[in-house]
Structure 1
Amino acid sequence: MKTKLKLFGFAMFLTLMFAMPSSAVCQEKRNGPPPWAPAHGYRAKVRHVYFPDYNFYYDLQKGVYIYLGKNGWQVNVNLPSLFGSINLKNTLKVELDLSTDTPQKYNSSHIKKYKSKKKNNKETSSKGNGNKK
């Protein structure tokens, strides 16, 4: 009886493994913070990180970048090659407490509020509820 139960359990395990889409199995690689995120992580209230020097966002909840492309705002898990040479660990970041899937709706105010320090070569990190502190 125990052998039949073990055999049945093993057969169920194999069935589930082959029935799952491969993306569900490989998705584990994307879990966790991006490599440029601080070691201590972000506060629970923070949903988006805005990069004013390059005018794009990162959605921490969904793990996607939101950037302005040729055909408007684009959402992608990878940063486009246009930004490929950027060291995101050393660039200005602003943590935004916006409860929305579309932070780009507020982009014009973000551009004004968080003016790029790139020209002055002052690269820092800013935290807050959409406000620089």
Structure 2
Amino acid sequence: MKAKNKITGIVLLSGFLFLVSCGPVLISSRIGPPPSWFYPNRVEVVRYVYFPEYGFYYDFTTRNYIYWDNSAWIRVSVLPPRYRNVNLNRSRYTRIRNYRDDNIQRYHEQNNTNRRRSNRTTTPNKRGN
């Protein structure tokens, strides 16, 4: 009887130590579906999409819209009233590939500083200057 209890104790202890030694198990999955304006059955490997006509981003990781307002980047889950009449189902957007950082301001300054301005251009003139 003592041997049986000893074996049972060893098995339980080794099983417990085996489970504890695995460490934390992290499961990463989407909490919910993508927004209604996005393709319903599409798997995207991008973190951000940019809506150039309106000048705001959508972050798939945090599920927030990001826009520039009063000299600061604002993150909100619902767009403000000024975008009320925007139909995102029909709006053009650009996938931001190979950028996973939390600071979208850095990306925007490097890539989109000249967008939405009609009086500036990034191409050189025809004389090569």
TM-score interval, smaller chain: 0.5 to 0.7
Instruction: Look up the match of 2:22.
Output: none
Q: How many percent of aligned residue pairs carry the same amino acid?
A: 29
Instruction: Give 5+ residue unaligned stretches, structure 1.
Output: 1-29, 117-133
Q: Which has the higher contact order (CA 8 A, sep 6+)?
A: 1
Please say which structure displays the higher CA radius of gyration: 2
1:45-72 alpha-carbon deviations (Å, 9 max, x no partner)? 2110100111110000110010011241
Rounded to whole Å, the distance in 1 between the matches of 2:64 and 2:86 is 17
> Conserved in 2, the CA contact under 8 Å of 1:48 and 1:96?
yes
> Conserved in 2, the CA contact under 8 Å of 1:55 and 1:111?
no
Structure 1 runs (4+) greater than 3 angstroms displaced:
112-116
Q: How do 1:9-48 and structure 2 match up within 5 A?
A: 31-43=32-44, 45-48=45-48
Change beyond 3 A, Cα 1:100–1:114: same
**CA apart distance, 1:82:** 1.0
Rounded to whole Å, the distance in 1 between the matches of 2:88 and 2:104 is 19
Letter in 2 for 1:102: N
Aligned length: 86
Change beyond 3 A, Cα 1:62–1:75: same
Instruction: Give 5+ residue unaligned stretches, structure 2.
Output: 1-30, 118-129
Secondary structure at 2:79 match in 1: coil
Letter in 1 for 2:62: K
Rounded to whole Å, the distance in 2 between the matches of 1:112 and 1:68 is 12
Rounded to whole Å, the distance in 1 between the matches of 2:52 and 2:114 is 9
